[in-house]
Structure 1
Amino acid sequence: MQATLTSASQYLFSALDSRAFLRSATVLLPPSWPDSCVSTAVLSASGESSDVTVLPGSPARGKIWTQQSLGCGQPGDQIYLGYEELIKKDATLARSLIKEFAMYRYGVFEEQGYYNDPIYPMCFYDDQTKQAKVTGCSDLPIRDNGICSAQPNAVYNTTKMVDENARSSIMFAAEAPSVSMFCDEGNHDRLAPTKHNSICQRRSVLDNNGNGNQITDTTPRIVYKKQNLTRYVFVIENTKDMMQRESWSYLRLALRQWAIYSLPENSEMGMVLADSVEPTRALHIVPARSGSNDRFGNSNRDKFYSALPYTPSESMQPGCLHCSLKEAMKMLNERSRTHGPASSVIVVIAPGMNVSDDLISTLKDLKKSKIRVATVNYPDIVRPTTLSLLAQETGGADYTVFEQKLNVETTLLSTYFELHNVLYDIITKFYSGSPSDLPMEIHRREINDDGRTSVTGSFMLDQSMGEPAQFTFYTYNVITPLIKGVRLISPSHQTFASRNDKFIDFKMITLNANISETGTWTYIVEPYPGNPQPHFLQVMATPRSPFVPVVRANLRMHRNSPMEPLILLADVKYGELPILGAKVEVTITKPEINGSAAHKTKVELLDTGAGDPDITKGDGVYTRYFSASEWGPGLYTFEVVVTDNGNTAYTWTESSRNSAVSYNLQMTYSSFSFQKAASMPGRYIFLKKTVVDLQSR
């Protein structure tokens, strides 16, 4: 690896006229690997995310490739590399890595054609020369070697097509020995139907701005790290705006369940209350591990949720958010100095925020300290803006949970259910370990009183999923749950009806069921009629192994520039392999002030590779533009559902895997789960609700 990165650094240094090189590389080792697997010390990671994922087998698109889902000049999503390529010690790997790094880091695209591609063909007709010409870019003429004349034995090999003395272009023939430069304005072919020309308005790849300092050593330093620990400090606004009917009691209940049962052992937690005058350090950072009890027998998990007051303060003034963020940052930095580095996360729960110079300054300090912020707008947005800026600027995650009322005194169970799931999703996003350690949601259902005395449904358990698993029934009334019974029937027709009230205080009823048998499970619920509150069903299951791929999805939103429309992107993957042919639908709702949904529409995201906005066909990234110009500024809700599109979804054949090798590489520099059948194609469902504050553009 050292030799490959050193060679790649020198290649990049030369290609960019001594303006850039790879200064260092951080290798994130899997948590299961012993420290002795490398010759140097293994340090604790600080929440770094990877630029390059080294896979146990070959990537889906060759030995190395970059997933790009955004526009020209926008960073890529990830570089994928097969570990076999590192073992081979291929001399051309460093060159290929720099080509992919340019795509990933600078948002440029390939300058070659593709077989049978009508948009980016391997050859095109040049009106000036009146003959067929190879699609590409070079400072010397490119030979077609019979490709453009469709000779039967012609082989498309860019290394053999460029002139032996050609110096460009890396984006066309990076592996050619003589090629060491990107195409610039002097030799760029603006007429060639390349992907780069199409997406980057026919500009050349090379940017000539800036001058580098004199650099003599381009050897990157390699540091090995592991994600061992996640530290959370919750910043919770402590004002009267946090109390709407049962919103505060729901928050206390959800945080209690989160701390006792959801939070992994390799975590630490603290709490700051954002009061209107100055912050209160409600709980110093303490470990979540079992056995850490005080002399009164209270565990640290008990201390966490007990630090939250029974009711918020009576203050009508907003909490001092920037003061509280500073206090949380101070706690995390102090803990890092005394107990070593960790993935540091601040979770902010507040009804929106006021943006000030002090807040912007605090954001800069958070970024310097590598602290990410997860935000939960709750129970409403009563401030000028949402909390989303905090998450966006620090690489965190943004959520919104609106308090939903049943009547003047009662809050709908929907609010608690959403809050519970948001807190769990925060764990999955910032967990320091393998994602396969954590249970995934594979089924959910809302049950309302519609006159039926019995409700029947089903879910599929994939062969890659199993125990620990849990079938949970959520009910509002914990004293007298309005339900006659719940039965769960396995694929082999074994019935589970034994109830477990261990979690009843958290409005949760579980069944004593061994959910491990692959296939279709059926459930029967018998609710009492006349219940004004909804019930919820949720099934969680855990991947059987970190080396067995499972279906996951990730919803994200992006703007290439502030004035451009919002791009909706849904990554749908089976392990690292894209799922093709799925149906990805987004229901867009703009609620009115009185809570009614006056505007609602449904759109489908596509993976067509049309280029605007979908960059690449068949990469499992489904996209579409959305503009708020029709309905105007306001808060918009996006609900995304992914299905198998009538059993037509499929994925590529996965190459052989070596379960011993899988790690991430960070050179400088992100799910909800859904249901899938036992085989591919199969039926799977993914649901995510996101609230975004949009201006009319």
Structure 2
Amino acid sequence: MDGRWKKARWRWRTPAVMVAVSLWAWVGVLGETRARLVDNGYEGVVVGVSQAVEDEHGAELVEALKHTLTEASRRLFVATDRRAYFRTVTIVVPREWTKVNLTHHEGSENFEDSDIKVDEMNPVYRHQPYTQQNLGCGAPGQHIHLTPTYLLNDSAARGWGSRGKVLLQEWAKYRWGVFDELGYAEDPAFPLFYISHRRNRPSLCSDREVTGRLIDKLHLSACRMLPSGEPDANCRFIPYPHQTATSSLLSDLAIRSKEVKHFCGTEGRPHNSAAPTKHNFHCRGRSAWDVILSHSDFEDGANPPSDHFENPTFRVVQQADATYALVLDYSGSMNNHYRVHKLRRIARRWLLYEVATGSYVSIINFNKNARLVRSLTRVTDKASRKLLANSIETKADGGTSIGSGLYVAARQVLRDSANPVILLITDGEENENPRIDHVLFDVVKSGARVVTVAFGEEADLQLEKVARSTGGKTFTVIDIDEGQMLEDAFVGALTFQPPQPDTPITIFETVYKDGGREASSTFHVDFTVGRNLTLRLETGAQVSSSSPRLTNPQITSAPVLIGPDGTVYRNARFDPDSSTWLLVVPLAEAGLWQWKVGLSGERSTSVRVRIVSLQRDPSVQPITTKAWISHGAKDVNATVDRVVIFAKVMQGNSPVVNADVRAFITPPHEHEPTQVYTLRDNGQGADITAGDGVYSHYMTHFTSPGRYIVRAQVTDGGTAVIHSGTSQPVRRRRREVEEKGEEEEEEQDMDEDYIHTILGVPERCCGSVIPVPRDSTPTGNFQRTYSGGSLKVTNVPETDVLAPSRVRDLSVALVGVGWGRGSLPIHASVRIRWTAPGDDLDSGIVSGYELRMSTDVRNLEEENFIVNSSSSSSSSSSSSYNNNNSMTGWSVVDLSGLPVEVEGGTHLLLNVSLTLNSHKTYFALRAWDDVGSVSEVSNLAPLYLDPARVRTSTGGMGAWVVVVVVVVVLCLLVVVAMLCLARRRTRTAAQKLI
């Protein structure tokens, strides 16, 4: 076969293939993971071991993973009522490992895309297993994180419970989008305790009462109660050793029972929607089982209960070198805007400098037919790189058959290849058979991941479907781009190659095209990078309109780098093969640097600069960033879909917090200005957890249908620090307990060793906020850039359809009270806090709020919390009507005159005076925008009063009132005494005169 598509082959394939394509395309949209549930068995589950993990105990680690996954599979089968188990699992170990028996020498799976990652500890979580969850209820997580210490050290794992059960819990979060059903120490949103029927109860979900004691964790004594009746920050719930509860698995750490095998909400296991847990908040009180059954794994009766179960089979592999097929559009439209010349320039640079040694590369050109230009060639040296680079052409004509190029890549070039990747670059809409739909089954079956690049505004709308169905990526290049966007796409394809010992980090990028005699700017080199600092200055290869050939721009002096101490680094060399100037500094000093180049001043001249570096010291992890979009390659209907932009900033596995992170969005049409969003790591709006190093923001501005390009820029902002982890307090030995802690009705023995075992486990992380330790290390000045790919939007709203986002951190605290003869009602001063949402989700300024208070949480539930259209932030209405038109027990807090209309993300703190009619009052609020769209109801903020404790501590008045009264009385007594003494002296003196 000569590499050309034979049209006759297609005629007999159409009906069967179209059915298969539908199946595979459906599989591709299940989630970010490639794992799928087929006949009750999960297939394609991938466990990746980081190259940072040494292979000294590699064989033992692999066996531990097999044992843990086998146990988790059995528990999964029980917990899902015989609906699911793990059937096939691939364990990907580092390429450097030599002490592990491989079942297959090479695999296409990679660490970055693993469902379960085994890596060095995150100092925030330490050795606690956790799932990175960045989206809301029902949405998949990014990955599960396990440490080698957790898997191999029994003492480190014992505190978290059975490894198989723990992995099942994390799989539920990762796959089905449920959350923990327990409290977190000192967390403002998800506390350890809540008050129900005037009793302190642990925050959890169980089908039967969980009994235990409240114990001070520092002194092993009775818990101290606050004036409100709540336990103080040192109080912990210690469950008795013997429990009868069988749910919930998501509360298992709080219950501590081997009998816990099910989720809340399964038959006969009621869900506790009243507990202030992370799951209840994000899933609006729905049970975990309800959320799980709504997932596509089980939706509409999929994978019903079955008696068939089998232990998982394991593949142990090392990731293979990538096998690339460059599928390049050479149709006539590629001549427009000199696209084909830009393609040649960037593709050559990628082949000469970027693609990893050991990779295989082939080149396929297509117009109305496909042609194999270069068969698979292994990249071994400069000669092989140059051979491939010289195969990139510039002659383009004819029609467009994208399917022909994909078919040759999938069926001829990449057949039976390990780790196949297709890089598809096209600018046109298909007008020749075969088309994408005709060959998609073959592409998916080949196992290739497809990275698609839409060149210009008219690129085919099926490109995202190809990437989505194959687990690939999508990029877009606009015609006024000078090469940065296209290079981003080529670099994006490199993520599918095995991890390299030294990965270049982009610390600065810019394009200069303003004319003038000189181009220059500054950039920072931080303490984690600086080795082989490289300036890549693209000459902005210009194309003459009269003669379409490459010409060099007018560079009058070679580029230079100027170090912080003023040292000038010259010796830049020009590479004619890639039209690029290169200047390398072997070890760059940390500080502020400058690049500079002399230009001719011609207005057509442009310069693109990219500064990359390797990490400074192999023992010090570099600061890195990654950016992505919540919907990935999925089509977006902006009238209903909520798109989130993410950026993750880390030093190794340590979060970098308080950084300045911005997303720059290039709209579909060239004349439209760039949009800028400030991403936040504050646990509000689009962000799930504050302080975890993941920054986010809703994308709220859509000008027209088309492809939007996302790019992130990160700087220190003068405040960024590297999270050093949380330290555990030193616990003292038991002292004599003068009074018992609060106990449940059932009494059991609880010896000191048992208590120390429970309290010896590190505090569970993480709830709504991860506090930043004071000893965290400042990053100093740094900057990073990263491409987040592109997003295809099919529909945009014609009107304002975005309501304010939900407030998540409403809190109410008692400041002072005045007692009416020691009984209710109470006149109180309270402090109310929350973070302002925006007019559109987390952007802009809301038009108003309605803050309600009630003694019954049902009055503040979503269906009963209807904001009156005449409401305003100054509303002081005190009643409403329920569905039966009878009066309900809630009132509106008067916020008139208070500064509540502020920019989204602003922290609000208000002091108000209230009359409280109960010992327990709940607060909730909604915001509305300028067209009357309302947010979801906020979290419930409880305010507890214990009259006996408050009166005891204040004598019926605030402490300061008592002090003032005592002082005034003493002063009066002194004054009276002095007056009496003075009067006596006066009488005595008068008598002497007489």
Which TM-score band (shorter chain)? 0.7 to 0.9
Q: CA deviation at 1:77?
A: 0.4
Asked whether 1:178 is paired with 2:259, we answer: yes
Amino acid across the alignment from 1:580: V
Is contact 1:441–1:540 with CA below 8 Å preserved after alignment? yes
Following the alignment from structure 2 to structure 1, what is the Cα–Cα distance between the partners of residues 781 and 390?
A: 45
Is contact 1:460–1:518 with CA below 8 Å preserved after alignment? yes
- 1:47 is paired with a residue whose SS is coil
- 1:484 is paired with a residue whose SS is strand
Specify the alignment match of 1:568 in structure 2. Answer: 645
Amino acid across the alignment from 1:331: Q
Cα RMSD after superposing both structures? 3.1
Following the alignment from structure 1 to structure 2, what is the Cα–Cα distance between the partners of residues 556 and 162?
A: 45
In structure 2, relative to structure 1, the CA distance for the partners of 1:202 and 1:422 (3 Å cut) is same
The aligned runs of 1:261-340 (5 Å cut-off) are 261-276=353-368, 278-290=369-381, 299-313=383-397, 315=398, 317=399, 319-334=400-415, 336=416
Following the alignment from structure 2 to structure 1, what is the Cα–Cα distance between the partners of residues 264 and 135?
A: 22
2:327 corresponds, among 216, 226, 235, to 235
Specify the alignment match of 1:32 in structure 2. Answer: 96
In structure 2, relative to structure 1, the CA distance for the partners of 1:109 and 1:689 (3 Å cut) is closer
In structure 2, relative to structure 1, the CA distance for the partners of 1:687 and 1:328 (3 Å cut) is closer
Specify the alignment match of 2:630 in structure 1. Answer: 558
Asked whether 1:537 is paired with 2:613, we answer: no
Specify the alignment match of 1:156 in structure 2. Answer: 236
Specify the alignment match of 1:426 in structure 2. Answer: 493
Following the alignment from structure 1 to structure 2, what is the Cα–Cα distance between the partners of residues 238 and 457?
A: 37
Specify the alignment match of 1:391 in structure 2. Answer: 467
- Residues matched between the structures, number: 634
1:85 corresponds, among 139, 144, 150, to 150
2:436 corresponds, among 346, 352, 359, to 359
In structure 2, relative to structure 1, the CA distance for the partners of 1:423 and 1:100 (3 Å cut) is same
Specify the alignment match of 2:964 in structure 1. Answer: none
Amino acid across the alignment from 1:173: D
In structure 2, relative to structure 1, the CA distance for the partners of 1:140 and 1:154 (3 Å cut) is farther
Is contact 2:402–2:434 with CA below 8 Å preserved after alignment? no
Is contact 1:588–1:639 with CA below 8 Å preserved after alignment? yes
1:608 corresponds, among 679, 682, 688, to 682
- 2:328 is paired with a residue whose SS is strand
Asked whether 1:198 is paired with 2:281, we answer: yes
2:695 corresponds, among 622, 642, 652, to 622
In structure 2, relative to structure 1, the CA distance for the partners of 1:182 and 1:691 (3 Å cut) is closer
Is contact 1:400–1:690 with CA below 8 Å preserved after alignment? yes
- TM-score by length of structure 2 reads 0.59
Amino acid across the alignment from 1:109: F
Q: CA deviation at 1:651?
A: 2.4
Is contact 1:344–1:371 with CA below 8 Å preserved after alignment? yes
For each residue in 1:532-580, what CA deviation from the matched residue of structure 2 results, as whole angstroms up to 9, or x when unmatched?
3221222211235666422222221124986322222222222222221
Q: CA deviation at 1:517?
A: 3.5
Following the alignment from structure 2 to structure 1, what is the Cα–Cα distance between the partners of residues 89 and 619?
A: 25
Following the alignment from structure 1 to structure 2, what is the Cα–Cα distance between the partners of residues 628 and 162?
A: 55
Q: CA deviation at 1:396?
A: 1.1
Is contact 2:526–2:782 with CA below 8 Å preserved after alignment? no
Amino acid across the alignment from 2:352: I
Q: CA deviation at 1:121?
A: 2.0
Amino acid across the alignment from 2:784: I
Following the alignment from structure 1 to structure 2, what is the Cα–Cα distance between the partners of residues 177 and 622?
A: 38
The aligned runs of 1:507-522 (5 Å cut-off) are 507-511=579-583, 513-522=585-594
Specify the alignment match of 2:107 in structure 1. Answer: 45
Asked whether 1:136 is paired with 2:210, we answer: no
Specify the alignment match of 2:418 in structure 1. Answer: 342
For each residue in 1:425-450, what CA deviation from the matched residue of structure 2 results, as whole angstroms up to 9, or x when unmatched?
322x222223x432221222333446
Is contact 1:140–1:162 with CA below 8 Å preserved after alignment? no
- 1:373 is paired with a residue whose SS is strand
Q: CA deviation at 1:94?
A: 2.3
Is contact 2:121–2:653 with CA below 8 Å preserved after alignment? no
Asked whether 1:212 is paired with 2:305, we answer: yes
Is contact 2:515–2:605 with CA below 8 Å preserved after alignment? no
Mind listing any 5+ residue stretches in structure 1 that lack a counterpart?
292-298, 405-413, 657-677
In structure 2, relative to structure 1, the CA distance for the partners of 1:649 and 1:39 (3 Å cut) is same
Asked whether 1:70 is paired with 2:151, we answer: no
Following the alignment from structure 2 to structure 1, what is the Cα–Cα distance between the partners of residues 447 and 430?
A: 23
In structure 2, relative to structure 1, the CA distance for the partners of 1:366 and 1:539 (3 Å cut) is same
Is contact 1:640–1:688 with CA below 8 Å preserved after alignment? yes
- 2:724 is paired with a residue whose SS is coil
Asked whether 1:688 is paired with 2:787, we answer: yes
In structure 2, relative to structure 1, the CA distance for the partners of 1:633 and 1:568 (3 Å cut) is same
In structure 2, relative to structure 1, the CA distance for the partners of 1:192 and 1:441 (3 Å cut) is same
Specify the alignment match of 1:115 in structure 2. Answer: 185
Is contact 1:234–1:270 with CA below 8 Å preserved after alignment? yes
- 2:342 is paired with a residue whose SS is helix
Amino acid across the alignment from 1:168: S
Following the alignment from structure 1 to structure 2, what is the Cα–Cα distance between the partners of residues 510 and 309?
A: 24
Is contact 1:607–1:618 with CA below 8 Å preserved after alignment? yes
Is contact 2:508–2:783 with CA below 8 Å preserved after alignment? no
Specify the alignment match of 1:460 in structure 2. Answer: 524
In structure 2, relative to structure 1, the CA distance for the partners of 1:543 and 1:352 (3 Å cut) is farther
- 2:648 is paired with a residue whose SS is strand
Specify the alignment match of 1:102 in structure 2. Answer: 172
Q: CA deviation at 1:166?
A: 1.2
Specify the alignment match of 2:272 in structure 1. Answer: 189
Amino acid across the alignment from 2:380: R
Following the alignment from structure 1 to structure 2, what is the Cα–Cα distance between the partners of residues 59 and 225?
A: 29
In structure 2, relative to structure 1, the CA distance for the partners of 1:28 and 1:19 (3 Å cut) is same
Is contact 2:553–2:606 with CA below 8 Å preserved after alignment? no
In structure 2, relative to structure 1, the CA distance for the partners of 1:342 and 1:154 (3 Å cut) is same
Specify the alignment match of 2:954 in structure 1. Answer: none
Q: CA deviation at 1:518?
A: 3.5
- TM-score by length of structure 1 reads 0.83
Following the alignment from structure 2 to structure 1, what is the Cα–Cα distance between the partners of residues 567 and 139?
A: 53
The higher-RCO structure (CA 8 Å, 6+ apart) is 1
Is contact 2:681–2:692 with CA below 8 Å preserved after alignment? yes
Specify the alignment match of 2:822 in structure 1. Answer: none
1:225 corresponds, among 314, 317, 327, to 317
Is contact 1:570–1:623 with CA below 8 Å preserved after alignment? yes
Following the alignment from structure 2 to structure 1, what is the Cα–Cα distance between the partners of residues 553 and 711?
A: 33
Is contact 2:509–2:785 with CA below 8 Å preserved after alignment? no
Following the alignment from structure 2 to structure 1, what is the Cα–Cα distance between the partners of residues 458 and 240?
A: 63
In structure 2, relative to structure 1, the CA distance for the partners of 1:512 and 1:606 (3 Å cut) is closer
In structure 2, relative to structure 1, the CA distance for the partners of 1:482 and 1:564 (3 Å cut) is same
Following the alignment from structure 1 to structure 2, what is the Cα–Cα distance between the partners of residues 624 and 161?
A: 44
Q: CA deviation at 1:357?
A: 10
Is contact 1:134–1:144 with CA below 8 Å preserved after alignment? no
2:449 corresponds, among 369, 372, 377, to 372
Q: CA deviation at 1:243?
A: 0.9
In structure 2, relative to structure 1, the CA distance for the partners of 1:228 and 1:636 (3 Å cut) is closer
